[in-house]
């Protein structure tokens, strides 16, 4: 199968990138464990879990006053590896290396940037693939249901542990953007500024529908075995299909037309058989195959469910989004993309409207891009300049206060 250059929504690839130049260089994954028995972490569902480990990485240096902290929050299947390399031999840098680094949009010469792996994931933080200390076996489907609220609770515990009391900015796209909004509402006096990118205050029926089809494809895989597949054959086919569905929603009609059109894969004529004949088929199969190598099917189930449950109006405003934002104090910059049909611009405008009604300081820009939901992860000087300028004004205004 072909190796495709270009983007991957949770792991942007950069051709020819290497250590040095404007890279943050070598980074190290760290871990923080808390909620040790007998004090487990309480979850939104009423259940509790402990101990909880959160994987995180940092770039740049923390200033003496601890006022230059930026928290980057990743999307569904991302990880704490936002920038740089683990070893000089790494083929690829972190997933947002185009944005985070010396002189870049999030300038590591000025800011101390932290990225944590979300609760429920499988990239170092506690999730369904982690060992349940009470049984000595993987949690699997005995892992409690988690929400965006719980992810933020765990991130807050890490900030407390690091002694960080102010976040100059909280930045994230997609499911990361949901965490950004959650942070601003839960810890209003801690967040100076926030950048929710290509995100929403609640999933539309369309978004839930796609997630449900993806989940059903995993759970219909005979190897899923009610979640108990660790140490044996995994539900690879189900997870690969789930990823393929996801990928369709990350692109757009226009980007697929540009990228693939009706081009055939390695052939010039139709072969009238059920192989991957069209390039778009081959691309999706490749994405599915790549995904099963790095992601856990149960994590996918839990995190998509958390995203579907997310509803700021329900959670914090008794159904009113305006009320939900009434406690916020942060300065906002909301960004949407013209071709994003997963979280369309009208959803960003809804949150902007609620912010305006609360007299919050909000900027909004709908960026013209053909790449669909994926666009926020692609190198784009417009987004880089927007973030750079916005952060500078957040610094100036926080000094003035």
Partner 1 sequence: MNPLRYDLKLIASWITPGTKILELGCGEGDLLHWLKREKQVVERGIEIKESKVVRCIERGLSVLHGDINEEIEDFPDNTFDYAICSQTLQQVYEPATLIRAMLRVAKMGVVSFPNFGHMKIRLKLITSGCAPVTEELPYSWHDTPNIRVLSLDDFQHFADQTGFKILKKAAINTQGVQGKIVRVFPNLLATYGIFLIGKQ
What does the binding site for partner 1 look like in residue numbers (CB under 8 A)? 331, 333, 349, 352-353, 356-357, 359, 361-368, 382, 385-386, 388-390, 392-393, 396
Residue 4 C-beta: closest distance to partner 1, Å? 29
> Which lies closer to partner 1 via its Cβ, residue 186 or residue 388?
388
- 77, 150, 373, 380: the active-site residue: 373
DSSP 20-67: STTS--B---EEEEE--TTSPEE-TTS-EE-SEEEEEEEES---TTS-
> Which lies closer to partner 1 via its Cβ, residue 297 or residue 391?
391
Residue 359 C-beta: closest distance to partner 1, Å? 6
Has 174 been annotated as catalytic? yes
> Which lies closer to partner 1 via its Cβ, residue 112 or residue 390?
390
> Which lies closer to partner 1 via its Cβ, residue 8 or residue 380?
380
CA 24 to centroid of chain Cα atoms:
20
Other Cβ atoms less than 10 A from the Cβ of 394: the count is 21
Contact 27, 55 (CB under 8 A): no
- 174, 193, 282, 348: the active-site residue: 174
What does R_g of the chain's alpha carbons equal in angstroms?
A: 21
Residue 337 C-beta: closest distance to partner 1, Å? 11
- 79, 340, 374, 380: the active-site residue: 340
Residue 357 C-beta: closest distance to partner 1, Å? 6
Specify the residue for token string 């926080």: 398
The Cα-based distances of 63 to 69, 109, 236, 249 in angstroms read: 9, 11, 45, 40
CA-closest candidate to residue 48, choices 154, 131, 137, 121: 154
Residue 40, Cβ density class (10 Å: 0-12 exposed, 13-18 middle, ≥19 buried): middle
Has 97 been annotated as catalytic? no
> Which lies closer to partner 1 via its Cβ, residue 139 or residue 371?
371
Has 340 been annotated as catalytic? yes
Residue 252 C-beta: closest distance to partner 1, Å? 17
Residues classed as catalytic: 174, 340, 373
């Amino acid at each position: 199968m072909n190796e495709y250059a270009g983007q991957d929504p949770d792991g942007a690839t950069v051709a020819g990138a290497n250590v040095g130049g404007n890279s943050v260089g070598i980074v190290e994954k760290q871990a923080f464990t808390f909620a040790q028995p007998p004090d487990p972490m309480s979850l939104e569902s009423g259940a509790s879990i402990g101990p909880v480990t959160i994987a995180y990485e940092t770039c740049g240096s923390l200033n003496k006053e601890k006022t230059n902290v930026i928290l980057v929050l990743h999307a569904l299947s991302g990880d704490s590896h936002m920038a740089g390399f683990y070893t000089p031999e790494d083929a690829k840098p972190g997933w947002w290396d185009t944005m985070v680094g010396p002189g870049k949009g999030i300038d590591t010469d000025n800011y101390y940037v932290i990225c944590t792996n979300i609760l429920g994931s499988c990239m170092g933080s506690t999730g369904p693939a982690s060992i349940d200390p009470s049984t000595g076996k993987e949690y699997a489907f005995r892992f409690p249901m988690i929400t965006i609220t719980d992810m933020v609770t765990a991130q807050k515990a890490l900030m407390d542990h690091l002694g960080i009391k102010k976040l100059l900015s909280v930045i994230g796209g997609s499911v990361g953007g949901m965490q950004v909004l959650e942070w601003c509402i839960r810890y209003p006096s801690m967040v100076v500024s926030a950048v929710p990118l290509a995100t929403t205050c609640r999933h539309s029926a369309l978004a839930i529908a796609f997630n449900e089809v993806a989940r059903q494809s995993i759970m219909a895989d005979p190897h899923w075995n009610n979640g108990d597949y660790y140490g044996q054959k995994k539900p690879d086919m189900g997870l690969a299909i789930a990823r393929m569905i996801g990928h369709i929603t990350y692109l757009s009609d226009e980007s697929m037309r540009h990228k693939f059109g009706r081009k055939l894969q390695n052939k010039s004529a139709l072969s009238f058989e059920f192989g991957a004949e069209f390039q778009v088929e081959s691309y999706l199969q490749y994405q599915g195959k790549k995904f099963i190598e790095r992601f856990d099917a149960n994590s996918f189930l839990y995190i998509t469910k958390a995203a579907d449950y997310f509803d700021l109006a329900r959670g914090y405003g008794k159904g009113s989004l305006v009320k939900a934002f009434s406690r916020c104090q942060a300065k906002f910059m909301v960004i949407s993309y013209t071709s994003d049909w997963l979280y369309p611009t009208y959803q960003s405008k809804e949150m902007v409207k609620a912010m305006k009604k609360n007299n919050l300081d909000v900027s909004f820009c709908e960026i013209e891009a053909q790449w669909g939901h994926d666009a926020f992860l692609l190198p784009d000087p417009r987004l880089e300049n927007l973030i750079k300028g916005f952060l500078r004004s957040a610094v100036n205004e926080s000094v003035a206060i």
